[in-house]
A and B are shown apart, each in its own frame.
Chain A
Amino acid sequence: AQRVTQPEKLLSVFKGAPVELKCNYSYSGSPELFWYVQYSRQRLQLLLRHISRESIKGFTADLNKGETSFHLKKPFAQEEDSAMYYCALKLLGVDKVIFGPGTSLSVIP
């Protein structure tokens, strides 16, 4: 069955340190991967999608089909990056989006 895993429920890093939020998926077809973010007291919003291959707020994510991973990275964490991050998988030809359980990122000043 299709599934998204995020092994870390909580991740704490110091300001200025690199951060990597891990995401792995299981899907035999051609996946479309996303990262969503939810800041405190705000609604869930799209951060980036793999097909765009762009950097948003300094974050990047590369789809590695061999390792079935889509890890989110930022070289220098900022306090405003503290939030809940969800990795999500959209199946080919289907509108259903499968979310991972989320990782809470805390950036320590």
Chain B
Amino acid sequence: GAGVSQTPSNKVTEKGKYVELRCDPISGHTALYWYRQSLGQGPEFLIYFQGTGAADDSGLPNDRFFAVRPEGSVSTLKIQRTERGDSAVYLCASSSNRGNTQYFGPGTRLTVL
């Protein structure tokens, strides 16, 4: 079956703009995770959803970052007033339930000029 998909694959924006990154998890997976991976670093946890609710958003760096998952499937990561330091690859992962194996998407490469 289809794996986790993320759109767009690349996003270039200007400092101060608003961006939305989309994640389509594997069908039926209730758990969804967002990570950010900067150059030369491992993935950094941002937020975890169980169903529609954000069960753990402790990794969001500040209030410019927000994520939703209104119907318990697709999730959108929203970044307001982007800064150059937000440039990174944003990864999404899903799992069939909490604690189970996470399956990663291909990532969205965000570049803030």
Interface residues, chain A, CB within 8 Å of chain B? 4, 9, 43-46, 49, 86, 88, 90, 94-102
> How distant is the Cα of A44 from the Cα of B45 in the complex, in angstroms?
14
When A and B form their complex, what is the total count of cross-chain residue pairs whose Cβ atoms lie within 8 Å? 49
Spell out B's residues near A (CB within 8 Å): 3-4, 31, 33, 35, 40-45, 48, 50, 55-56, 58-59, 91, 93, 98-99, 101-107
Do A45 and B104 touch (CB < 8 A)? yes
Residues of B within 8 A of A44 (CB): 43, 91, 93, 104
8 pairs, CB–CB < 8 Å, chain A vs chain B: A43-B107, A94-B56, A95-B50, A95-B98, A96-B45, A97-B45, A101-B41, A101-B42
Chain A residues contacting B31 (CB-CB under 8 Å) are: 95
- The answer, among B3, B42, B106, for a CB contact under 8 Å with A86, is B42
Give the chain B neighbours of A43 by CB distance below 8 A: 3-4, 104-107
In the complex, the chain B residue whose C-beta lies closest to that of A41 is: B106
CA distance A87 to B31 in the complex (A): 21
Rounded to whole angstroms, the CA-CA distance of A98 and B44 in the bound complex is 7
Which 5 pairs from chain A and chain B are nearest by CB? A99-B42, A44-B104, A95-B48, A99-B43, A96-B45
Shortest CB distance B23–A (Å):
13
